Amino acid sequence: MTGRPYTHLSMSIDPGERPRIGISFYASITRARARVLESGRPYLVLESDEADVTVSTTGAGPVTSQDLDIAREIFNAAARYLADCERMHAEHAQASDSAA
């Protein structure tokens, strides 16, 4: 399934519940970067033409053990995403070569 690139934003506000916002990038991420601010706080940014998502430490404070846990989860998820993309790209290239 292919289609035109887009970014999907959803927001759910239910009485008695915390609001929830979802951002899905079905477009090219134009930049993914990680930096450390002058204050010493690390952050991660994913950017597209339509939206930015920034991840940083809890309450913009010092790094906690929970921050380390989520950083490891992000790292592992990104590694799996990379492996899946590489595998699918290779399969597509192989299928294209076979068809030629």
Tell me the pTM.
Answer: 0.79
Specify which residues 66 forms β-bridges with. Answer: none
Q: Please give the order of strands across the beta sheet that includes 31-36.
A: 31-36, 42-47, 52-56
- The predicted pLDDT at position 100 comes to 67
Backbone angles phi and psi of 17, in degrees to 5: -120, 155
Instruction: Give tens-digit pLDDT for 15-33.
Output: 999 999 999 988 788 899 9
Residue type (1 letter), 96: S
